[in-house]
Amino acid sequence: MIKALFPKLRIVGRDNVIRVLGDEVQMAAFEEAVETMRKHVLKFNAIKPEDILDIVNGKKTHDEIPEGVLIYNISGRPVKARSENQQKLINAYNSNDMVFAVGPAGTGKTYLSIALAVKALKEKAIKKIILSRPAVEAGEKLGFLPGDMKDKIDPYLQPLYDALEDMLPAVRLQDLMDKHVIQIAPLAFMRGRTLSDAVVILDEAQNTTPAQIRMFLTRMGWNSKMIVTGDLTQVDLPHSQKSGLKEAIEILTGIEGIEVVNFNRKDIVRHKLVTRIVNAYEAFDKAKKSELNINSNESIN
């Protein structure tokens, strides 16, 4: 289509390089148009034929992101709040340096947090994104997994990769990771670091110990924001071990610059069955707790 719009030029596209031959004035116009297209794609992750026509004809494209949209994913779909509490998370992020997002699976806590981080990176408000997760589920079994340390740990970090892959083209994402602009690492790798000019996200924080989350929260540096996500109904720690997330919320609630956003089953944006599953398990847990209380009272009597 671009070739047809510039019939006087000889245009050859190979990989990510476009070679152009012809009249210098035409070539200058072509270069300007392609640069505008490139910027459009960086912003929206997609470009339509009508956008190309508008750019070549010198018209203004629909280049302003509508209010409420954070970014566009690789399919060109807008990423924005889909529930009241998701909007609360966005508002809390905008007005605080540290946010705790707590609630059941499927409420979009991690996905929305990563979208906020990618938006900040695109707008050059920060220099890097750091994503972390505790590898508690692995326990001692980690050593029996095949491969080197990265191969052993990557399965536990895959949900973070999945969200990033939905928001950034594969080549761009790989380039940012190679340059350490986007870093994904287990929580244990955070010790000793000071995280400045970054959005730092700790996912699955319910599986941190009090000492681990304290270590993580005190890594915060200048011009940084932290988002801590977790689900207190899915703690994989030993029963005798208190969740660091639960303790951190108890200690830090009400401190200026820190906000806690509580999600509930109404915020679930996955398959409709996820809501039913969460409801069923909540009812089961409630009945089990009630039964334990009755048995305990009978034993005392």
Within the chain, where are the H helices? 2-5, 24-44, 49-56, 84-95, 109-122, 149-167, 170-178, 210-217, 244-252, 272-300
Residue pair 228/245 in contact by the 8 Å Cβ criterion: yes
DSSP output for 80-128: E--SHHHHHHHHHHHH-SEEEEE--TTSSHHHHHHHHHHHHHHTTS-SE
pLDDT of residue 69: 87
**Highest mean pLDDT (candidates 67-76, 146-155, 254-263):** 254-263
Burial of 280 (0-12, 13-18, 19+ CB in 10 A): exposed
pLDDT band at residue 26 under the 50/70/90 scheme = confident
Quick one: average pLDDT of 256-274? 83
Quick one: average pLDDT of 175-201? 89
Tell me the per-residue pLDDT of 72-121, one tens digit each, with 9 for 90 and over: 888 888 888 888 999 999 999 999 999 999 998 888 899 999 999 999 99
pLDDT of residue 139: 45
pLDDT of residue 298: 60
CA distance 141 to 139: 5
Quick one: average pLDDT of 196-209? 92
CA distance 168 to 232: 30
pLDDT band at residue 210 under the 50/70/90 scheme = very high
pLDDT of residue 179: 94
Question: 54 vs 9, 29, 60, CA distance in Å?
Answer: 19, 14, 6
Quick one: average pLDDT of 138-156? 55
pLDDT at 10 over 60: yes
Quick one: average pLDDT of 185-193? 82
Which has more confidence, 188 or 300?
188
pLDDT band at residue 175 under the 50/70/90 scheme = very high
User: Do you know the residue count of the chain?
Assistant: 301
pLDDT band at residue 127 under the 50/70/90 scheme = very high
pLDDT at 15 over 50: yes
CA distance 293 to 301: 12
pLDDT at 62 over 80: no
Burial of 249 (0-12, 13-18, 19+ CB in 10 A): buried
CA distance 243 to 211: 10
Question: Across all residues in the chain, what is the average pLDDT?
Answer: 84
CA distance 295 to 81: 44
For 26, other C-beta atoms within 10 Å of its C-beta total 14
> What DSSP element (H or E) covers 186?
strand 182-186
pLDDT of residue 65: 67
Which has more confidence, 191 or 252?
252
DSSP output for 117-168: HHHHHHTTS-SEEEEEE--GGGGGGGGGSSSSHHHHHHHHHHHHHHHHHHHS
